[in-house]
Structure 1
Amino acid sequence: MGLRLLHLNLHGLIRSHDLELGRDSDTGGQTLYVLELVKGLAARPEVEKVELITRLINDRKVSSDYSNPVEKISSCAEIIRLPFGPKRYVRKELLWPYLDDLADRIVERLQKENKFPDWIHAHYADAGYVGALVSRRLGLPLVFTGHSLGREKLRRLLAAGIDHDHIEQTYSISKRIDAEELALAHSNLLITSTKQESDEQYARYGRFSSKNVEIIPPGVDLNRFHPVDINSKDEEKELNKLFKPFLRDLNLPPLLAISRAVRRKNIPALIETYGRSSILQQRHNLILILGCREDSRQLEKQQREVFQQVFELVDKYNLYGKIAFPKQHKREQIPSIYRWAANRGGLFVNPALTEPFGLTLLEAAACGLPMVTTDDGGPREIHSRCENGLLVDVTDLEAFRDGLETAGSNLSLWKTWSNNGVEGVSRHFSWDAHVCNYIAFMQKRLKFLAPRHWTLGNIKEITPIGQKILFFDLDNYLEQSKSLSILRNKLENNSLNQDIQLGILTGRSIKAARYRYAETQLPKPSVWVCQAGTEIYYSEENKSDIFWQDSITVDWNRKGVEKVLFDLKDYLELQPSDHQAPYKVSYLLKEPSHAILPLVRKRLRQSGLAASPHLKCHWYLDVVPLRASRAEAIRYLTLRWGLSLEKVFVVASQQGDAELVRGLTTALIPFDHDSSLDALRSQQRVFFSDAQDGVLDGIKHFRFFKSH
């Protein structure tokens, strides 16, 4: 049987035809690359099936195509759209609160299928986060491609003088970096486009390992992107109509830029450079293809700001008749635009502040159009192989101007660059070469990694838990609940129904937990999740679940954790030995602080430790294996024993309980909850109770004791 592959591309607008590239900052080169990769893989004889999972969108402002749950790409490739988050289309920074829902949905979907994918390939940080969770729970190999990285974006924005709080508010940059770290920690393979991307960008992440890297430059469809051919006259007429309303002299060699209208692409710097140079204005037209727009006032904020800068600079330097920035173009016109520019002896210009790769550079080169481009990662790699133009410092406007003036002054050199580009792309950057390298690296790296799938059928045991389970926190809710007697009666009345059982969450040892629990006089639990999610016990057994133990202890180094955090003794102190465990290091804060969690997380990452900190009730800090938590323990239980997550009811009340609420579990938050949980009100399956007895109120709200 052939390979079965699963790709995750969660944001932007993606469909099998007419990609709306440049519509916004989320629909750019990444969506094109992923779609072309899926198509290329589906055409290979080694591949049986390729699925691309993205978000289901119901929004009158976008095409109804994006509300289609399944879209065929080819006979063995399709787009699967799953609902998560708001129904409407939103930018990627607003999707973070809903990614756990998607991870649960993907696991649920894969469980129902007879065959698992051979590997998951996650694209960008949001998909990396989801892919890490799915990989962790099912034991599937994970491949990660970041496309652009949060740490690099943060560095560039800070260097540009933008306030850190503004960056956080606009880009959710800390969530993005956390997700990238998690994806790197779980990845079996990291695919980058360039060596510079690996050595200078990914290397700044604590959980990066150079051993996991393979460099595979993106490919170009040479059937679409090629030099001028016999159909060029028709292309010429069509594009003359497109640009004639803007330009006095259509025959001047154009400086062509094609990108999204976002700050990183640095288009205003190109206009500023052009405006300051009388030589460039006399010699060249400037053509900007910045996506499609109806009304710039209706664009998202960042795009509006970029276009406002464009309009102001055109006016400042009186560039009317010399610059074109058409409102509309068709995707199928892009190859023609490159050829149109090449036919006039033009140059392709990429002024981006940072460029992980730069697919447009390859497209232009394949069409015989030389480049003047930013001296950064991808362009350096392309230039080293193709020698088809100049690299310039786009942050130095004088150097940028000199580069453009030099590149446009020598016709003989232009012809050499043009020929080099066509030949270099054909040799090094075709889609056939990309897909062949991709499959070869995957098979070499991942062939020894078999999926782990927890099912009742595999374990051959009788399930110790029913079809529904109520999880209570012994350390908080059950210690504080004033209505235990009512709850006790409710549970006892359902004792004949063995489908509904009780689960206990605690940071204590199983011995201490049972001692404390006996005081509640509640029915005996069927499962205990102890030691902050690192141990699972069933009923009255005294031995923890060995399968869970094996799955969380990958690369765990308890002594390493203590050593790395030792010099934080002004903020933390180790709790007594009876609060410690083999897979849990417990600390007590000397005073509550919101800064302690990111500080500890940073220390652990920088030391390469596969560990994760969890702060509970503002005072108690537990460091556990990266793959362990109370929420992950619950998901392990549902996978191993065939229990639907929607049949799990969790009570969350304290700071640190947010992990229990995210995803598809049913959750109750009582009226006297910690204020940190208020941010979870947007979660669909969370009930905030105003009643004195919140649990019974929640059980009634969700009809949890009803058989359905």
Structure 2
Amino acid sequence: MSELIQAVIHSEEKLDLRQFILDLRAKEQKYLLRNDIERAFAEYCHKHEKPASFYNSSHLGNLIYYTQEIILEEESICTIVRPQIAIQQAYRIDEEMGVEPMSVQDLLDVRDRFVDRYFPHEGDVFEIDFKPFYDYSPTIRDPKNIGKGLQFLNRYLSSKLFQDPQKWLESLFQFLRLHSANGMQLLINDRLKTKENLSKSVKQALAYVNRVNPETPYSEFRFDFQGLGFEPGWGNTASRVKETLEILDELIDSPDHQTLEAFISRIPMIFKIVLVSVHGWFGQEGVLGRPDTGGQVVYVLDQARSLEKQLQAEFEQQGLDVLGVHPQVIILTRLIPNSDGTLCNQRLEKIRGTDNGWILRVPFREFNANVTQNWISRFEIWPYLETYALDAEKELLAQMQGKPDLVIGNYSDGNLVAFLLARRLKVIQCNIAHALEKSKYLFSNLYWEDLEDRYHFSLQFTADLIAMNAANFIVSSTYQEIVGTEDGVGQYESYSCFTMPQLYHVVHGIELFSPKFNLVPPGVNEAVYFPHTREELRLHGMRDRLEELAFTLEDPDHVFGKLDEPDKRPIFSMARLDRIKNLSGLVECFGKSKELQQRCNLILVAGKLRPEDSNDTEEIAEIHKLYQLIDEYNLYGKIRWLGVRLSKSDSGEIYRVIADRQGIFVQPALFEAFGLTILEAMISGLPPFATQFGGPLEIIQHGKNGFLINPTNVEETADILLAFIQKCDRDPQYWQQLSERAIQRVYSCYTWKIHTNRILTLSKIYGFWNYSSQENREDLLRYIEALFYLVYKPRAQQLLEKHNQL
């Protein structure tokens, strides 16, 4: 039994627990989540005149603090306790205060009964359980180390090297023989026949380069090195070659995790990369602000540029220029024939700022031209992804003249396609999903049948399970993206166990303690987003144009609202118009605070101005809501709503224009997986005020370089904004101090160079792990394929039949 429950049951507070349960039964709500539970307990303490100490530090208070869910049944309650991050336990408490632990299967049955979808006479429901496939892999023990997979794996591998040096030296030797580029052997050649030859030859090669001028180019002693058994890839100069060989020599003689990472990260083994981002309008211009398109497009484009740049730097240091080796990065996305004036109907588009980076667009097959010729919502594209992956494979092999070394998926659909490609091509698969829909929509799995016609969660959640378990490694922007906080579960944690009533039970959906999870936050494009004080980089024509757009331009087609006092401090926000981004919540916050209206103007860059111009249901609803709030709070003259699609360079400058006026940036999302716009605002010099729900918790140090807000509490949010503005008025230096700290925070932690260097190191370490461990993943992959063909594919076919009727 949980120590938390045991402490209550074995004390006088047992009576309080009984009474609290009776009070809960008097309410209509039968399924309570954490916030509901805490609110109900506060009401209980007030009603029964309990002291503050009882609420905060009693045995029952402690139990309530760690309780995530309570489900009220007729003769008992089911309580889910989370004593620590990533660990959940379920218990049934009956009317006599008897307590018994519940299995995962029992818990999922209770949830099915809650939505009247439990029919035991019809047989057991299909159970999905991935736990057995992780039993033979190393796992992290301490929850605080979740997301540090690379460090864990390095320590694990180096310990294996130390325990059985001969076996692991053989693995290392054979691994070095694998690598080639453009058909040319790298690293070692056939003159080195055994692992003993390798150790001896490394020392001979070190003796050789010690006699050479450190600045001597590799090309001048390349053929001497071939005689010793070494091919290109060790370095571009004698000095660099010496460094790399010294690391290998140390790894052979006395392995440790730092030496292992240092050496593997220098091996040339990643040359061609595919980034998969299927849904949405993917392009370099004219797409931002369109449905299903936003931060992901910016993220993937910046990542592609940075990956090529990082690979180019690596190839130069590795001395591969003598072979004429160049990296290739392709973004794989969907071709949209009816492209609405964008370039999304072009098969191939060069990525600006790259030498060999391309957007490769592959169309969906024309099962129904009325559908596949047009943009399709991310919730509707599932029937096309299998055939898309088959077609994309042919296009990629032709374009790359060979297979990629790494496939990186983005979002649920991109990750599913990445799995299908990686499985067929037998290459490393990386999973990235900063925004999983399961976390956004409350009870989306419980009520999936009611939501299926609109969202098709049965397909999406199944695709997520497939991709995240198949991936060699998973990249997360934040720790809480994986396992949440003490207050709530993380995005990936929500897949640990859940029910899709009458479809399946997920008994163990993902191993959170697997070393496949790694924290690698994205960066900011420093060529576009930079501090407003960098006058030498700014274009005055652009500044003047955007300043006019933000504050004074009268253009009824693209701007709503004329400011009575344009010189007041601007509160600025820029986001898509959908429910989660919650711009309507910011407008309500502003509308309810007369003092904010007196001191500030509200400037929004968001979507379209007219509902008839949109075909996205959430956007249409938010447009109506914004107009309603503006009218309700009479915000005319105090708000400007820019219904424009800003280019990337314009979006960078508009942050700086707001910063010139000592404005502030507010990101009021109900949930934000990471928050790239927050980084963009911060590096521009804008003090950020961002949601406390999600990634901003790890970006912003509250009160130091920004502020965290609860967007569901508009009065409290207004108070936080006002307190900052009042302090700025009292101390003219305060805004500047926050601005400088925000800028420094980004430069120290969130650059693309840091990000891509980590991605490439991860790819190499996990590649080495797959080879050296000889871990047989075939049983796991076969299980995943069964899930794909027996659950995903039939449901995708049903959706396709509906599309064909349109």
User: Which TM-score band (shorter chain)?
Assistant: 0.5 to 0.7
Structure-to-structure mapping, 1:424-573, within 5 angstroms: 424-449=745-770, 554=777, 556=779
Return the alpha-carbon distance in structure 1 between the equivalents of residues 713 and 653 of structure 2: 31
Query: Counterpart of 2:467 in structure 1: which amino acid?
Result: A
2:614 paired residue number: 298
2:629 paired residue number: 313
Q: Which of residues 136, 154, 167 in structure 1 aligns to 2:423?
A: 136
Deviations 1:168-222 (A, max 9, x none): 3322222111111100110001001001111122122212444111111111112
Q: Which of residues 347, 350, 356 in structure 2 aligns to 1:72?
A: 350
1:106 aligns with 2:392: yes
Return the alpha-carbon distance in structure 1 between the equivalents of residues 452 and 419 of structure 2: 23
2:480 paired residue number: 196
How far off is 1:124 after superposition? 0.4
Q: Which of residues 145, 156, 159 in structure 1 aligns to 2:432?
A: 145
Structure-to-structure mapping, 1:53-452, within 5 angstroms: 53-59=332-338, 61-63=340-342, 65-73=343-351, 74-85=354-365, 86-109=372-395, 114-155=401-442, 165-199=449-483, 200-205=490-495, 206-210=509-513, 211-228=515-532, 229-230=534-535, 231=538, 234-242=541-549, 243-244=551-552, 245=554, 246-292=562-608, 296-331=612-647, 332-384=649-701, 387-411=704-728, 412-449=733-770
Deviations 1:362-390 (A, max 9, x none): 01100110011110221111113993211
Bigger mean CA offset, 42-51 vs 223-232: 223-232
User: 1:40–1:432: 8 Å Cα contact kept in structure 2?
Assistant: yes
Alpha carbons of 1:630 and 1:90: their partners in 2 closer, same or farther (altered >3 Å)? closer
Return the alpha-carbon distance in structure 1 between the equivalents of residues 795 and 720 of structure 2: 55
Q: Which of residues 28, 31, 36 in structure 1 aligns to 2:302?
A: 36
User: 1:372–1:407: 8 Å Cα contact kept in structure 2?
Assistant: no
1:21 aligns with 2:288: yes
How far off is 1:78 after superposition? 0.7
User: 2:444–2:457: 8 Å Cα contact kept in structure 1?
Assistant: no
Return the alpha-carbon distance in structure 1 between the equivalents of residues 403 and 539 of structure 2: 47
User: 1:8–1:54: 8 Å Cα contact kept in structure 2?
Assistant: yes
How far off is 1:446 after superposition? 2.3
Alpha carbons of 1:156 and 1:289: their partners in 2 closer, same or farther (altered >3 Å)? farther
Alpha carbons of 1:628 and 1:137: their partners in 2 closer, same or farther (altered >3 Å)? farther
Return the alpha-carbon distance in structure 1 between the equivalents of residues 564 and 345 of structure 2: 44
Query: Counterpart of 1:425 in structure 2: which amino acid?
Result: V
Return the alpha-carbon distance in structure 2 between the equivalents of residues 683 and 232 of structure 1: 48
How far off is 1:4 after superposition? 0.8
Query: Counterpart of 2:386 in structure 1: which amino acid?
Result: D
Query: Counterpart of 2:575 in structure 1: which amino acid?
Result: S
1:6 aligns with 2:274: yes
Return the alpha-carbon distance in structure 2 between the equivalents of residues 216 and 69 of structure 1: 31
Deviations 1:564-605 (A, max 9, x none): xxxxxxxxxxxxxxxxxxxxxxxxxxxxxxxxxxxxxxxxxx
Match of 2:274, SS state, is strand
User: 1:202–1:208: 8 Å Cα contact kept in structure 2?
Assistant: no
How far off is 1:449 after superposition? 4.1
Return the alpha-carbon distance in structure 1 between the equivalents of residues 704 and 631 of structure 2: 36
How far off is 1:413 after superposition? 3.2
User: 1:338–1:364: 8 Å Cα contact kept in structure 2?
Assistant: yes
Return the alpha-carbon distance in structure 1 between the equivalents of residues 795 and 741 of structure 2: 57
2:224 paired residue number: none
Deviations 1:627-674 (A, max 9, x none): 35896xxxxxxxxxxxxxxxxxxxxxxxx6994898xxxxxxxxxxxx
Deviations 1:395-423 (A, max 9, x none): 11222121111122212432221010111
Match of 2:492, SS state, is helix
Query: Counterpart of 1:446 in structure 2: which amino acid?
Result: G
User: 1:386–1:425: 8 Å Cα contact kept in structure 2?
Assistant: no
Return the alpha-carbon distance in structure 1 between the equivalents of residues 528 and 384 of structure 2: 38
User: 2:482–2:512: 8 Å Cα contact kept in structure 1?
Assistant: no
How far off is 1:90 after superposition? 1.5
Bigger mean CA offset, 230-239 vs 37-46: 230-239
What is the root-mean-square deviation in Å for CA atoms of aligned residues? Answer: 3.0
User: 1:23–1:293: 8 Å Cα contact kept in structure 2?
Assistant: no
Return the alpha-carbon distance in structure 2 between the equivalents of residues 277 and 183 of structure 1: 46
Structure 2 residue ranges without an equivalent (≥5) = 1-180, 182-269, 315-325, 366-371, 484-489, 496-508, 555-561
Alpha carbons of 1:52 and 1:400: their partners in 2 closer, same or farther (altered >3 Å)? same
1:50 paired residue number: 329
How far off is 1:437 after superposition? 2.1
Alpha carbons of 1:678 and 1:387: their partners in 2 closer, same or farther (altered >3 Å)? closer
Higher relative contact order (Cα pairs below 8 Å, separated by 6+ residues): 2
Match of 1:101, SS state, is helix
Alpha carbons of 1:678 and 1:449: their partners in 2 closer, same or farther (altered >3 Å)? closer
Bigger mean CA offset, 145-154 vs 269-278: 145-154
Alpha carbons of 1:285 and 1:165: their partners in 2 closer, same or farther (altered >3 Å)? farther
How far off is 1:41 after superposition? 1.1
Match of 1:395, SS state, is coil
Aligned identity (percent) is 29
User: 1:240–1:250: 8 Å Cα contact kept in structure 2?
Assistant: no
1:484 paired residue number: none
User: 2:602–2:640: 8 Å Cα contact kept in structure 1?
Assistant: yes
Return the alpha-carbon distance in structure 2 between the equivalents of residues 683 and 265 of structure 1: 29
Match of 1:71, SS state, is strand
User: 2:288–2:645: 8 Å Cα contact kept in structure 1?
Assistant: no
How far off is 1:156 after superposition? 7.4
Match of 1:263, SS state, is coil
Alpha carbons of 1:342 and 1:657: their partners in 2 closer, same or farther (altered >3 Å)? closer
Instruction: Give the structure-2-normalised TM-score.
Output: 0.55
How far off is 1:110 after superposition? 5.2
How far off is 1:166 after superposition? 5.0
Count of matched residue pairs: 477
User: 2:606–2:644: 8 Å Cα contact kept in structure 1?
Assistant: no
Alpha carbons of 1:365 and 1:661: their partners in 2 closer, same or farther (altered >3 Å)? closer
Match of 1:345, SS state, is coil
Alpha carbons of 1:329 and 1:19: their partners in 2 closer, same or farther (altered >3 Å)? closer
Alpha carbons of 1:120 and 1:317: their partners in 2 closer, same or farther (altered >3 Å)? same
How far off is 1:299 after superposition? 3.9
Return the alpha-carbon distance in structure 2 between the equivalents of residues 678 and 433 of structure 1: 44
Bigger mean CA offset, 405-414 vs 269-278: 405-414
